[in-house]
Structure 1
Amino acid sequence: MTQDDAFAADLLRGHTDTIVLGVLRRGDAYGFEIYKAIRDATGGQYEIKEATLYATYRRLEKDGLAESYWGDESQGGRRKYYRITDAGRAVYRGNVAAWTATRRIIDELLDVKESQQ
């Protein structure tokens, strides 16, 4: 992993809750399905460790942003599914708005710095 990769991973790590909520906005999903959706969305460039994801699921449930339920055993075993709540949707929208504003400011600052070189 290069320094650039480590920096990008640190940036993304702070947004794990929002990333998971974004996946759940598309529909209910079980743990490994969420992991695969994140990995596949980035073409395999970014993966969130399973331990981190399960801690995130617990935190989202504790905060009332997601809820879980057990799936049907006919699908090859009981899986715990997660769904986003209305509160989770509101937090997701707020976090995306904050990210968009932050990205715009950083982009402007980086352009200023580049033009001074």
Structure 2
Amino acid sequence: MFERSGSDAALLGDAFAADLLRGHTDTIVLGVLRRGDSYGFEIFKTIRDATGGAYEIKEATLYASYRRLVKDGLVEAYWGDETKGGRRKYYRITDAGHAVYRRNVAAWVVTRDLIDSLLDLGE
């Protein structure tokens, strides 16, 4: 999902790159949930591992995203069973969430292409 080379991983540690990603937290969470239902810390680990540890979303930021996504009907929350330890709140992407994810990714591609064009002006 977010495979990066070593030099890209170093770039992600930069505050500028982190700011660019921060505006896309909801879309990143929706992308993780497209793989299947998941709980909060597991989503955090998936994002961290996908970037080779170069980018970690703060817990408070993630939980604000979960609340917003549930409120907007893009994600459903439910309690899992306790057979695997403590009771966890799981999140599931809805059909509306899938639609918003696709729309946001399409917008990101257009934006990325525009930025690439602008950055290439000096070449």
Question: What's the CA shift for 1:77?
Answer: 1.3
TM-score, scaled to structure 2: 0.88
Once the two structures are superposed, what CA deviation does each residue of 1:58-107 show, in whole Å capped at 9, x if it has no partner?
00000000010000110111100000000000000000000000101111
C-alpha distance in structure 2 between counterparts of 1:110 and 1:54, whole Å: 34
Aligned length: 112
* Separation of aligned partners in 1, 2:117 and 2:57: 29
Richer in helix (by share): 1
Aligned-partner Cα distance in 2 for 1:78–1:36 = 18
* Pairs within 5 Å for 1:95-106: 95-106=104-115
Q: Which runs of 5+ in 1 are unaligned?
A: none
Q: 5+ residue gaps in structure 2?
A: 1-10
> In the alignment, which residue of structure 1 is the partner of 2:35?
26
Give the TM-score normalised by the residue count of structure 1.
0.93
State percent identity of aligned pairs.
80
**Over alpha carbons, which structure has the higher Rg?**
1
Aligned-pair Cα RMSD in Å: 1.2
CA distance in 1, matches of 2:119, 2:72: 35
Give the equivalent residue in structure 2 for 1:60.
69
